């Protein structure tokens, strides 16, 4: 069964304190791993897609990496505006089904 586990559930950082969020997955035939950001009361917004082990993507202070069993979202020198819930999702053999983790709620204090 396709499954996604995210850790930690919550993370509190001081502004400028770098850290990483983890997404471990079990999927039959990975056809893409997706990262989304969700602000309170809003729908998730797309950040990155990774397709193969070793792939990396960057956007401002965020960098996503992928191995055969997990993905990391590295946050370098975060700012308070990076506070949000970060969601990870995978797509397997069924190209039209996505499986989401329960998210990591990030709080960056000034």
Partner 1 sequence: NAGVTQTPKFQVLKTGQSMTLQCAQDMNHEYMSWYRQDPGMGLRLIHYSVGAGITDQGEVPNGYNVSRSTTEDFPLRLLSAAPSQTSVYFCASSVGQGASGANVLTFGAGSRLTVL
Tokens 């893409």 found at: 32
Residue from the set 25, 44, 75, 106 that interacts with partner 1 by CB under 8 A: 44
Stretch that binds partner 1, among 11-19, 20-28, 74-82, 93-101 (CB under 8 A): 93-101
Q: Measured from the CB atom, is 5 or 18 closer to partner 1? A: 5
Which region, judged by CB under 8 A, interacts with partner 1, from 18-26, 39-47, 60-68, 71-79? 39-47
Q: Which of 28, 67, 102, 109 binds partner 1 (CB under 8 A)?
A: 102
């Amino acid at each position: 069964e396709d499954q996604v586990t995210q850790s930690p559930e919550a993370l509190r950082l001081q502004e400028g304190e770098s850290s990483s969020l983890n997404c471990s997955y079990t999927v039959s035939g990975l056809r893409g791993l997706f990262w989304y950001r969700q602000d309170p009361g809003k729908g998730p917004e797309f950040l990155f897609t990774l397709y193969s082990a070793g792939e990396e993507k960057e956007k401002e202070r965020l960098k996503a990496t992928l191995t055969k069993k997990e993905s990391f979202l590295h946050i370098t020198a975060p700012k308070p505006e990076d506070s949000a819930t970060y969601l990870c999702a995978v797509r397997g053999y069924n190209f039209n089904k996505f499986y989401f983790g329960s998210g990591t709620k990030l709080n960056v204090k000034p």
